[in-house]
Chains A and B, each alone.
Chain A
């Protein structure tokens, strides 16, 4: 199938031929860094506009359509506005923590991009504990949020940050357990291995019922992880007026905002990788000719298509469901999702051992 490996090996060979190894390595760092930042920025712009257009479509209206044809330059306008705004620091705020918080959240979002496979042979760091790495690093963003709430010197922000912290920590468990149920089938945490194991069909089809249950729990739990509606009471506009990022304006707010959208992209990318096959085209068992035709569509189109489908799903949730109250939200996790995921994990282990999957 179409692979970008030829491109990457070409660049690697040229660099090692023309420069000493250390300099070649540094060049590669720079290239990867620039690409990561560019992807980050591009995703941010696209997702912000996508959110507004999806919202408008569900709410029977048009959405931004003045700036540029069909409003495609709206994100650029938003970015310019956010950069130009005055970044106020409130009076009694803890200056160091106040300024540090958005950078921590942003940094976490960027770091988690590393192991994700965007196309065949196209990943930044094919670490052998890929999925564990993602899970671990994304937990660090809770610290950033708590910092933001505390350092703002504002009762509302504090309340919002505490609610958010409790919510994120609880739902990480469900995310972990549903991810584990797929790892049990693949036997490896390496993201490339997981994708390759779906060569004859995606896990959501191969491991029928337990995988579907896992997938549903995964989607619910990551919506809560990323503080999206219906679990967005830390940003509940009608209750606490933006929660932990109430006091942030200008570039710092832009960083929070961007980090939230990148988080959504990342968790959808992980979901697409684990359950829907990542960059692997849609194959059915050993229908050779069908699979061969599917291979003509490049792998990065598969990957981004699946991820954006999941992102659309999560955006759909936001504009359909009302918000859960904080105790109902924690109730849902500890009394319903967690026991169900644990039982599901045991069932999936049984399915894996006995070979009851396709």
Chain B
């Protein structure tokens, strides 16, 4: 159904939210048509942080291009790198050792928790409560410190390579992760007390930004935003990769489709990730952390696609190879792009405060959208 994309009537106000704005998480330019306090149309203008990553990758080798993706969705850096490594391994037909698989899944789940923590803090801050941000960062800093010890960096970790991981786990890794799990379990109830149970938050988020199941599927929304509307789309369950099919965790689904449902999905996903980490942390198998691969990688001629579940949704890496050392074309199916496309649909008829709440629960990271 193609709607008449609203005409500006008399008395409508057109304002720009962004690109520099405290509430758009990154440089997102929204052109909003307002009638009084009611939103009539939201038009996102993208491209402010377009860095032509896909084009750049055409001149980088298969070992090098992986690390440009850390800068795409920087909150799920490990998971992005993981996706690229998996696609290359698919092309090479390489078998990953068990230890490497477990390490990769552990890093992925830690990243997912860190990403959801930051989302929680930033969303509460958008709605006006400044304190949860600091509480969220207290936990996130612990994860960043763990990453720094093993991978060498806190944000763009560059740890995955085709074949496994770059270097073995630091000897302190297990103890630190176990301490983190203890700390997390102590603090998670604070999140519910301070934010989830607060009636002002509930009123700001319940019934706001309703996304129906059909609309979610037709806009291509994936990740927690879609699972809040009841769409079962967790790539870890539907198209399992690595050892996810051997792990015991639930796919978190809510049916209401409003902002509060999306919020609860992410909070429960953090708990599910904790469950996965608990299952793995004591059972890291011994062995190689990297499969033997040639120094210079050449993918055979053909097309390879791999999808993973990042903290935002389904990321797909599509490599077209002509048989050389650099890819002919790389395309990233970014979760944020599709999630953003439903923003107009869910905020029409609401107020500016609702726009902020909905945008917060869609969890957009603009570098992921613009690449």
Please list the residues of chain A having a beta carbon within 8 angstroms of any beta carbon in chain B.
Answer: 55, 58-61, 155-156, 229-230, 232-233, 236-241, 319-328
Contact = CB atoms under 8 A, between A and B. Distances in A.
B167 to A, nearest CB: 34
Interface in B186-231: 194-195, 198, 200-201, 203-204
A326 B351 CA distance: 9
Interface of B: 13, 15, 21-23, 37, 124-131, 133-135, 138, 194-195, 198, 200-201, 203-204, 351-354, 356
8 contacts: A59-B133, A230-B200, A238-B125, A321-B198, A323-B128, A323-B204, A326-B353, A328-B204
B200 A321 contact: yes
A59 B23 contact: no
A55 B130 contact: yes
Consensus secondary structure, chain A interface: loop
Contacts of B204: 322-325, 328
Nearest to A325: B353
Nearest to B20: A241
Contact of B134 (A61, A232, A322): A61
Contacts of A325: 203-204, 351, 353-354
Contacts of A156: 15
A129 B23 CA distance: 46
Given A61-B134, A156-B15, A322 B128 contact: yes
Contacts of B127: 238, 322-323
Q: Which 7 A-B pairs have the closest CB atoms?
A: A323-B128, A325-B353, A238-B23, A322-B129, A322-B127, A322-B128, A59-B134
A155 B15 contact: yes
B134 A60 contact: yes
Nearest to B205: A322
A321 B130 CA distance: 8
Contacts of B352: 239-240
B155 to A, nearest CB: 21
Contacts of B126: 238
Nearest to B208: A325
A82 to B, nearest CB: 21
A182 to B, nearest CB: 28
Nearest to A318: B130
A58 B198 CA distance: 17
A323 B130 CA distance: 10
A325 to B, nearest CB: 4
Contacts of B201: 322
B15 A322 contact: no
A137 B23 CA distance: 36
B37 A327 contact: yes
Given A155-B13, A326-B353, A328-B203, A319 B23 contact: no
B34 to A, nearest CB: 8
Which of A237, A239, A319 neighbours the largest number of chain B CB atoms within 10 Å of its CB? A239
